[in-house]
């Protein structure tokens, strides 16, 4: 019992280390990039005194956002999920490697040993890096779409959509069961693709990394990933918004207007929504406010325990 309490206590400190972990959206480089972009956006869109340094700082640090009851639930989720991850999800971290080994072994058993490849290691690295990013993004979109299309999953996903203000911490505001589902997705995609590349290319199957994470993901996070969940509206040109989801487009996804709930579900790439006819460009609409209308809520957006049990109860009772 004492050991378990010690583990829980130590896990509560984990979010403080996110600032130094490139695999986390709260990594300090990503935050600095977001702040710099936000300042540029403010100077470009504000007028007169709104461009002054003091006004920009007040706008970025508005208490009405950062101390809002909904934002405080974001912070609670950050620490609560650190405990859940330590107790239940950490054992999964090595599963992707096991899936990769299984995939490579199965391919060799069915197809026989792979012929030696003459492909340049640089080409293999580039191909593996891009495909890992693309398939990871596609799978995230598919699971996200399921979270909107399957009624029981939508009840769980409402935790994320119930945020009434947006902060970078809103990323961590998701139901633990939904987090587990996305974790399984990552294990499957990474393991299957890695195993396939190991079988075909052997040790040359290495992705291009920056500070230990996929280079493409690192760059996108640094260039405003944290603005997706924020009050900083950053649109892209229309042509680019058909390729990459802009922060403004993702904010539209969080609109309280039910017409926007199931649009712009892409993680990074917009092409999946575009092909599915679910893409809205930022020039065509703006969110009036964030959150869910009262008839959609299955918990109070500021209560931690309610936000964990309420969605499960709704999923079991409304859709059984």
Q: What is the pLDDT of residues 90-114, one digit of tens each?
A: 555 567 778 888 888 888 888 888 8
What confidence score (pLDDT) does residue 152 get?
Answer: 95
Name the CA radius of gyration of the chain, rounded: 21
* SS3 readout for 193-227: HHHHHHHHHHHHCCCCEECCEEHHHHHHHHCCHHH
pLDDT for 12 beyond 70: no
Rounded to 5 degrees, what are φ and ψ at 290?
-100, 160
Q: Compute the average pLDDT of residues 171-193.
A: 92
What confidence score (pLDDT) does residue 302 get?
Answer: 87
Q: Compute the average pLDDT of residues 214-235.
A: 93
What confidence score (pLDDT) does residue 286 get?
Answer: 87
Number of folded domains that form the chain: 1
Per-residue exposure over 20-41, b if at least 16 CB sit within 10 Å of its own CB, e if not: eebebbbbeebbebbeebbbeb
Q: Compute the average pLDDT of residues 259-281.
A: 94
Domain that holds residue 274: 2-318
Name, in order, each residue with C-beta under 8 angstroms of 151's C-beta and a sequence gap of 6 or more: 315, 318, 319
Query: Nearest-CA neighbor of 134 among 298, 15, 269?
Result: 269
Of 3-7, 25-29, 78-82, 184-188, the least confident: 3-7
How far apart CA 268 and CA 20 sit, in angstroms, is 23
CB-based contact 311:299 (threshold 8 Å): yes
Going through the chain in order, the beta strands assigned E by DSSP cover 209-210, 213-214
pLDDT for 167 beyond 80: yes
Top-confidence residue, 25 or 108: 25
What confidence category does residue 5 fall into, taking pLDDT thresholds of 50, 70 and 90? low
Q: What is the pLDDT of residues 274-283, one digit of tens each?
A: 999 999 999 9
What confidence score (pLDDT) does residue 90 get?
Answer: 57
Q: Would you give the end-to-end CA distance of the chain in angstroms? A: 36
Q: What is the pTM of this model?
A: 0.90
Q: What is the pLDDT of residues 125-146, one digit of tens each?
A: 999 999 999 999 999 999 999 9
How far apart CA 283 and CA 288 sit, in angstroms, is 14
What confidence category does residue 204 fall into, taking pLDDT thresholds of 50, 70 and 90? confident
Find residue 22's DSSP bridge partners: none
Between CA 170 and CA 194, with CA 148 as vertex, the angle to 5 degrees is 75
What confidence score (pLDDT) does residue 48 get?
Answer: 83
What confidence category does residue 50 fall into, taking pLDDT thresholds of 50, 70 and 90? confident
Q: What is the pLDDT of residues 27-47, one digit of tens each?
A: 999 999 999 999 999 999 988
């Amino acid at each position: 019992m004492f050991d378990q309490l010690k583990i829980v206590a130590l896990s509560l400190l984990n979010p403080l280390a996110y600032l130094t972990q490139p695999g986390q959206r709260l990594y300090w480089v990503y935050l600095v990039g977001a702040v710099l972009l936000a300042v540029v956006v403010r100077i470009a869109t504000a007028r007169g005194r709104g461009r002054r340094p003091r006004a920009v700082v007040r706008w970025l640090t508005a208490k009405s956002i950062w101390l809002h009851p909904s934002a405080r639930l974001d912070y609670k989720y950050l620490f609560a999920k650190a405990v859940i991850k330590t107790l239940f999800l950490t054992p999964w971290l090595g599963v992707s490697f096991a899936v990769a080994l299984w995939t490579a072994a199965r391919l060799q058993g069915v197809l026989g040993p792979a012929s030696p490849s003459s492909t340049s290691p640089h080409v293999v690295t580039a191909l593996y890096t891009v495909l890992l990013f693309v398939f990871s993004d596609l799978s995230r979109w598919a699971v996200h779409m399921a979270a909107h299309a399957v009624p029981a999953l939508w009840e769980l996903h409402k935790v994320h959509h119930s945020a009434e203000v947006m902060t970078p911490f809103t990323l961590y505001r998701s139901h633990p069961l939904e987090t587990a589902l996305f974790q399984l997705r990552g294990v499957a995609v990474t393991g299957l693709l890695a195993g396939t590349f190991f079988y075909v290319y052997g040790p040359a199957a290495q992705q291009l990394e920056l500070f230990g994470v996929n280079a493409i993901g690192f760059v996108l996070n640094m260039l405003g990933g944290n603005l997706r969940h924020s009050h900083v509206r950053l649109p892209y040109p229309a042509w680019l918004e058909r390729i990459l989801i802009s922060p403004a487009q993702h904010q539209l996804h969080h609109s309280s207007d039910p017409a926007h709930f199931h649009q712009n579900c892409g993680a990074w790439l917009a092409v999946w929504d575009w092909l599915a006819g679910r893409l809205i460009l930022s020039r065509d609409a703006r969110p009036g406010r964030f959150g869910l209308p009262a008839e959609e809520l299955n918990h109070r957006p500021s209560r931690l325990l309610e936000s964990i049990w309420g969605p499960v109860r709704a999923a079991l009772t409304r859709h059984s």
